[in-house]
Structure 1
Amino acid sequence: MGNKLKKGDLVVMHSCMEAVLSEGRVWKCKGDEFNLSAPAVFLEGFSGHFAAEFLQKVDVPVIESEMDLYNEIQRLKQELRFSNQKNEQYLKEWRKAETQANRATEQLADVTIELKNLQRSLLMEAGKL
């Protein structure tokens, strides 16, 4: 990270286990970046210091009026609707694939039964049963 983090900077975690656990959370730096053996910073609400290499500074839009807040809420609602539509599409495709897999499994079971019956018939004809 080229610029050192400063007290009050807003950051998100990335490329580490903590990032997965707190996906999308914005953290606030308690103080300036410092260097133990590697650059680190303390974050509000996080126990201990955190490696700066796994933090990305973010800019959060400043809400100056109720209209700005309303517009931001509408924008986020639209993003959520779009995301939900994509999720519904993926779920529909997954259900279709699951149905196809179930049919293929049933067909495989039928073929297995037919093969066993054919094997039994052949053995009976050969007089081995």
Structure 2
Amino acid sequence: MSQKLKKGDMVVMHTCLEAKLNEGRVWKCKGDEFNPSAPAVFLEGFSGHFAVEFLQKVDVPVIESEMDLYNEIQRLKQELRISNKKNEQFLNDWKKAETQANRATEQLADVTIELKNLQRSLPLEVERL
């Protein structure tokens, strides 16, 4: 992380086993980041310290009313819809690329068989001459 974590910062875990076990959970830092050689921080509700390299600081909006909560939910739903559309497009592009690769593989196999047949028939043609 470029800036050191401070007491009260909100973070999520990523790219580690604990991240999979605690998917979507937001943690609060108990204290400031420590240990310059292997940066770590203590998290509220987590036993022991945790390596900073597997944490991402997040901005958690302050919810002061039911309307704020409703608006935040709507904003997150919209972000999710956008993300789903991007993922869907990526999946479609990947399927097209996979189909093209399969066709190319089939064509290569056909050409390879044709080449082998030509190689077999070449000695027979030479004998006829």
Instruction: Assess same fold via TM > 0.5.
Output: yes
- Residue 33 of structure 1 contacts residue 52 of structure 1 at CA under 8 Å; is this kept in 2? no
Q: C-alpha offsets along residues 26-58 of structure 1, whole Å, 9 cap, x if unaligned?
A: 2112x3237457554211243321245665543
Work out the percentage of aligned pairs sharing the same amino acid: 76
Alignment partner, residue 105 of structure 2: 105
* 1:117/1:55 CA distance change after superposition, 3 Å: closer
Aligned residues between the structures: 121
- Residue 4 of structure 2 contacts residue 33 of structure 2 at CA under 8 Å; is this kept in 1? no
Return the alpha-carbon distance in structure 1 between the equivalents of residues 96 and 3 of structure 2: 48
Structure 2 residue runs of 5 or longer lacking an equivalent are none
- Residue 11 of structure 1 contacts residue 26 of structure 1 at CA under 8 Å; is this kept in 2? yes
* 1:126/1:20 CA distance change after superposition, 3 Å: same
Alignment partner, residue 83 of structure 2: 83
Output the TM-score relative to the length of structure 2: 0.76
Alignment partner, residue 95 of structure 2: 95
Alignment partner, residue 74 of structure 2: 74
Alignment partner, residue 125 of structure 2: 125
